[in-house]
Structure 1
């Protein structure tokens, strides 16, 4: 059989599914509270029109909850500016770009309050900014917090890998400024090796996080399914819709990158719109009219 280059998103999703194989069923056998949990919803195939509709609905939610969203998200550009200022220390310069790129790894957790605002608005309520924090006292808080810790661990691992890659390539060079770092990365063989290795490793981690979290956070808010079942459902959704899932990941990465350009100020809009849109993507992925057995082939 001829060797082929596989879609990294599909490869990551399949690897995750194998790693999580039986975990959801094992959790259901533990007894106690697990016995009363809901079954994960049926999944459906989506297309680019679903993604466009989710983005439009996310924009509508942002306009309706603009004050709440801005209040929630103003912290992100402030954190970005603080990181940029910290990078004035030449010793931290090599970690600036990996940290900025790694924001996408923890983005799904950062938008948890926005999912809740969209959920309440969908039910016909007029949510206030305080509603975004009600997840803290809800039954979903435990699994949401656990999944947040998992994404945080991936981010820490990415930063450690990025530091090791820099040490192995450009470690002998100490950039004096951001411009000097860019020159080293773009005009030397070691710099291009660093870019290639970082893109490969970072892309694999991003694909894995996308597969595990694309609909799991909203599902945990919406249904009492438990963490393993939510992550498995998210992975299965990715395997069912590899093209749209990859397109969604590219849209998220592109929007966050653009949001970081004007001194991170664009994140005040990019994060809430993407957060609200993620809720609507989840709803389209698990719509009640989903064809029965649409995901049976992945069982």
Structure 2
């Protein structure tokens, strides 16, 4: 495990953006699924009068982002080795010797995401039991003291969820893709990486949160660029953090 400084994030960001620019059209093709899924989920939430979930959806991408970026890690890995890195090569993930462990960790992240959505909805009804869940009703609630308390508590709880997701996945999924290890070792390695580099990892978490927030504006369209860049940078951060 290496100690990394905040300035190493600049190296990871630069290298990750270089990976993105190597084949931006291919990466964008793969990444169209992010805004499409976001829009479908948002539409379903609004249609079913579950507006409280809209904000949770936009922030919840941070919980499943590492999972969604698996193909991008593979592209960065191949580019680092001097191999071809087209969108078809991203499917090389399925040939990983740790595929079963990747699947198990993926289930953990999805469970965390679903738990966050349920928690966010529960908090809304806790602070305003009579809400209909419609967009106008929720918009009105957010102008009240109860609405502000909901936002404050929701932000605090969401921070805990995001911290858990960051801690268990910041290097675990890239490690599983790179080496034949179990999910327990991968998660423990990720936890040790965060504990060894608390400031740098906190800054990385902040960068991810701000980037995802910006990408979720304008109907999630920005996620088509934000998600792949973050995915490539995550691989580069893994390579800087975990010794070969």
Query: Which TM class, normalised by the smaller chain length?
Result: over 0.9
Per the alignment, residue 152 of structure 1 pairs with 110
Distance apart, 1:84 and its partner CA? 2.8
Q: Does 2:216 correspond to 1:264?
A: no
Aligned residues: 244
Distance apart, 1:160 and its partner CA? 1.4
Q: Does 2:181 correspond to 1:241?
A: no
Equivalent residues of 2:62, 2:162 under 8 A apart = yes
Per the alignment, residue 173 of structure 1 pairs with 131
Per the alignment, residue 190 of structure 1 pairs with 146
Per the alignment, residue 14 of structure 2 pairs with 56
Distance apart, 1:92 and its partner CA? 1.4
Q: Classify 1:158/1:88 alpha carbon distance in 2 versus 1 (closer, same or farther; 3 Å).
A: closer
Per the alignment, residue 117 of structure 1 pairs with 75
TM-score (norm 2): 0.95
Q: Distance in 1 between matches of 2:160 and 2:188?
A: 18
Q: Distance in 1 between matches of 2:172 and 2:45?
A: 34
Q: Could you tell me which runs of 5 or more consecutive residues in structure 1 were left unpaired when the two chains were aligned.
A: 1-42, 289-299
Q: After TM superposition, list the pairs within 5 Å mapping 1:91-106 onto structure 2.
A: 91-106=49-64
Q: Distance in 1 between matches of 2:228 and 2:126?
A: 38
Per the alignment, residue 143 of structure 1 pairs with 101
Q: Secondary structure at the match of 1:44?
A: coil
Larger-gyration structure (1/2): 1
Q: Distance in 2 between matches of 1:117 and 1:242?
A: 28
Q: Does 2:151 correspond to 1:227?
A: no
Q: Distance in 1 between matches of 2:211 and 2:193?
A: 22
Deviations 1:204-263 (A, max 9, x none): 111011011000111111111211011001000100111110110110111111011122
Per the alignment, residue 87 of structure 2 pairs with 129
Q: Could you tell me which runs of 5 or more consecutive residues in structure 2 were left unpaired when the two chains were aligned.
A: none
Q: Does 2:145 correspond to 1:214?
A: no
Q: Classify 1:161/1:88 alpha carbon distance in 2 versus 1 (closer, same or farther; 3 Å).
A: closer
Q: Which has the higher helix share?
A: 2
Displaced runs of 4 or more, over 3 A: none
Q: After TM superposition, list the pairs within 5 Å mapping 1:33-112 onto structure 2.
A: 43-89=1-47, 91-112=49-70
Distance apart, 1:161 and its partner CA? 1.1
TM-score (norm 1): 0.78
Equivalent residues of 1:90, 1:174 under 8 A apart = no
Q: Distance in 1 between matches of 2:52 and 2:97?
A: 41
